[in-house]
Structure 1
Amino acid sequence: MWTTSPERQQSGFTTAAAIFIVVILAALGAFMVTISGTQQLGFAQDVTGSVVLQGARAGVDWGVYQVINNTAGTFSTNCRSAAGATVTFPSLQGMTNVTVRVDCTSATYVEGASSPVSYQIIATACNNATCPNTSASLPNLYVERRLSTLVTN
């Protein structure tokens, strides 16, 4: 009578288990690469967001300085007009690829014997040539920050 050995019956199972483990490890590796890429993209957006926020802060500071200390300047004069004022800085020193747009409007009101002027300064900063960018095809790393302040002089 002819019999088969137990080792020979289990040889197919070992091959199937090895293929299964290789496939699972390959899928796990692909998943890790995807997660790593997403994490790097998120980190890049965080860094860009911080730089753009500093650009918006610089724009607000510049606008406040202009309406308080440079009242005869073009920005302050235009801000007091009906149209308001808009200035765009294509690149600030130390902040490459950051565009800052500063908008200003004003309102004069009567308070007793004086007539103070209230200025609203809005600074919009982004990492694009035009700011704010309202186009439908924005790049993946487009970041925009907007800050505003109200100053009474």
Structure 2
Amino acid sequence: MNSRLGSQRGFGAIAIVLMLVLLAAIAAAVVRLANAQQIGSAQEQNAARAAQAARAGIEWGLYQAFKGSWTSCAGASQTLDLSADLGMRATVSCSSSLYNEGESAPGTPQTVRVYTVEAVACNGSGSCPDASRVSSPTYVERRLQIQASD
């Protein structure tokens, strides 16, 4: 009888080793999932910041267009450095066109200027879009465009 018990003594050790390997695999999967979730959350936060920077660029561009700082908005472009507040930059460009809309008096067309303001916000180091960082997994970019008339 003793010889039989001696041959079955290692079975418990094998079961314990298998259980430890299984628990280690589960722990590694949990760590990997938590890391992916954290990266995704950071990307969402950067995307929201880029959207806010693009909105700020649109507002700034409309202000410049309507107050006359950009003379007729003819291809004007400027990069706003919002890195202190949002960690983003916004490149704002403006163009305008004149259109006849109705008549101001009989036989006299009423001319209306339509401004097109576009803002591209990104977390790049130069102007947006930042071609050197587009392939980076942490790069975020948002583009907004608006048309307004005076």
**Is this a same-fold pair by TM over 0.5?**
yes
1:43 to 34, 41, 44: 41
What count of residue pairs does the alignment treat as equivalent? 143
- Partner in structure 2 of residue 115 of structure 1: 111
Letter in 1 for 2:24: A
Q: Normalised by the size of structure 1, how large is the TM-score? A: 0.84
- Partner in structure 1 of residue 139 of structure 2: 142
* Structure 1: 5+ residue stretches without partners: none
Rounded to whole Å, the distance in 1 between the matches of 2:11 and 2:83 is 66
In structure 2, relative to structure 1, the CA distance for the partners of 1:78 and 1:108 (3 Å cut) is closer
Aligned residues with identical type, % of pairs: 35
3-state SS, counterpart of residue 94 of structure 1? coil
3-state SS, counterpart of residue 128 of structure 1? coil
3-state SS, counterpart of residue 101 of structure 2? coil
* Structure 2: 5+ residue stretches without partners: 103-108
Rounded to whole Å, the distance in 2 between the matches of 1:92 and 1:34 is 31
Do structure 1's residue 94 and structure 2's residue 85 form an aligned pair? yes
Superposed CA offset, 1:20-62 (max 9, x none): 0011111111111111111111111111111111111000011
Q: Normalised by the size of structure 2, how large is the TM-score? A: 0.85
User: Aligned Cα RMSD in Å?
Assistant: 1.9
Structure with greater strand share of residues: 2
Retained in 2: the 8 A contact 1:55–1:92? no
